[in-house]
Amino acid sequence: MSTHDQDFPKTTVTEFLAALVACLFAPGIVIFLIIKLILAIQATHI
């Protein structure tokens, strides 16, 4: 087997924080929309 270093691109702190916020924001939007949909369905059945 050959042992050579792989050149991974360097990630800056800004890029890391942007990715972290995006990873937390996207599921939050999905959960919010699902809850809103459930509440709207319940409101029509009253």
pTM comes to: 0.59
User: Which band of pLDDT confidence, cut at 50, 70 and 90, is reported for residue 45?
Assistant: confident
Distance (Å, whole) CA 45 – CA 12: 51
Distance (Å, whole) CA 14 – CA 28: 21
Distance (Å, whole) CA 7 – CA 3: 13
Q: What is the pLDDT of residues 14-26, one digit of tens each?
A: 999 999 999 999 9
Question: φ and ψ at 9, to 5 degrees?
Answer: -65, 140
Q: What is the predicted pLDDT for the residue at 41?
A: 92
* Radius of gyration of the chain from its Cα atoms, rounded to whole angstroms: 21
Q: What is the pLDDT of residues 1-44, one digit of tens each?
A: 556 667 778 889 999 999 999 999 999 999 999 999 999 999 88
